[in-house]
Amino acid sequence: MQIKRIDDYRWQVEQSGLMRVPGIVFTSARMLDQLREEEAVNQVANVATLPGIIRASLAMPDIHWGYGFPIGGVAAFDWESGVVSPGGVGYDINCGVRLAATDLQFEEIQGRVRDIVDALYHHVPSGVGSTGSVKLSPKDERKVLSQGSQWAVDQGFGLDEDIDHTEDGGCLEHADPEVISQRALERGRNQLGTLGSGNHFVEVGVVEEIFLPEAAEVFGLRQGQVTVLLHSGSRGLGYQVCDDFLASMSKHVRTLGIELPDRQLSCAYIQSEHGQRYLRAMACAANYAWANRQILLHRCREVFEETLRISPKSLNMRLVYDVCHNIAKKEEHLVDGQKKWVCVHRKGATRAFGPGHPALSHDYRDTGQPILIPGDMGTASYVLVGTDQAMLETFGSTCHGAGRVLSRKAAMKRAKGRAIHRELEDQGVLVRWTGRGTLAEEMPEAYKDVSQVVEVVHGAGISKKVARLRPIAVVKG
């Protein structure tokens, strides 16, 4: 496989074999050396073989190996003649990040951080198979799948203004609960309002540096401010939806005459019954994830108010934005100078719509979309903003995080004999965790340097740095 340098931030995977388009990897020379040793670049090439793919198979600098598509992969397919692939969305449908800002300054809570993280750990259910206090009847669960964030707000979990600052208003309207399996419904019934495990977290942070003051002001961010960043998805329901459709599509794709380099790329034509059923089921899982994060943010508000004994007005914990990572969406983009409807797969990638896009709330129409890039427990997280360049080049997409460099097994081996929580506390980060082995699997060394990842997308112009956040307390599943 030939990889040709385009510039400091772009590398082209030359078209060969079954590839219908080239691959474009956004990375640096330093990170590319590591990528060459992995399977992820081969996956970029494999995605380029799928019918209806437009322009290029794209990968962000946080790219690493995934199921079928690489994590960090972006691909757009012609809405009429292209395919949709569950491997291009991932198992944790609408795994995403939500950032809230407060009126608190770090100095005001410096002596209470331990109390806050202990309370968050106690009141925000986390871990494998965790269940929450929100018990859904079959009827209510179907409403969650249809209505997303709005259902949660209507039940008293949060504020109406949260909806405006959630991607797609926290709801994909083509969701159809009738296509969801009973097993998926069972798995989702008791998990709403739970964090989950692995790389999911609630992080209390402080705005450490402002890079773009104008955008930061619009987003309501200022130096020294206390923030809350949470990362979670569609829990067991989303996993089961993916599992169900991978099973059916792996059989269906064999009837289509599509030559696949990897059976994990099982797919269906978008306009087929199989394709439409998957998109309707995926939308249900996406809506579940948005409702889940809405409830989690509400729990965080309650914890801060009760622990610090302050009023909602004094806390003023407001949602900056909520972005999703694992999704496939019908969007209109410029292709060869003409507007065209496409299905954009973003797997471990974030939407990065630029200024003026009609999908953005009025608050952010002039600046572009807020983008949230979490790091790991011991480094920084970033807030970026979408750009016109992203609209032209990446179908309005950018990176989603740091990206793994060590498998969970390799991380466990490297962490053997170490007290990761003490190492983090020495760096000023208090950590609470549920899963056995979680801290070892998720230790900072398991991930790329998030600052290097962000520099690539900033340098390439597909998103711009707005602010850097420093973690001070983290709850992990």
Q: Is 400 a catalytic residue?
A: yes
And the tokens for 33?
């050396």
Half-sphere exposure of 162 (CA within 13 A, CB side): 32
Residue 447 DSSP code: B
Angle between helices 273-308 and 138-147 (to 10 degrees): 100
Bridging pattern class, strands 430-433 and 463-476: parallel
Residues with Cβ within 8 Å of 407's Cβ and at least 6 positions away in sequence, in order, are none
CA distance 330 to 104: 39
In a 13 Å sphere around the CA of 470, the CA atoms on its Cβ side amount to: 15
Task: Give the SS3 label for residue 280.
Answer: helix
Q: Which of 200, 333, 400, 421 is catalytic?
A: 400
How would you classify residue 226: left for phi > 0, otherwise alpha for psi between -120 and 50, otherwise beta? beta
Cα 44 from Cα 86, distance rounded (Å): 16
Q: Give the number of other Cβ atoms within 10 Å of residue 358's Cβ.
A: 7
Distance CA 6, CA 9 (A): 8
Q: How many CA atoms lie within 13 A of 197 on its CB side?
A: 15
Instruction: Round to whole Å and give the CA distance between 374 and 230.
Output: 9
Report, as residue numbers or ranges, the catalytic residues. Answer: 400
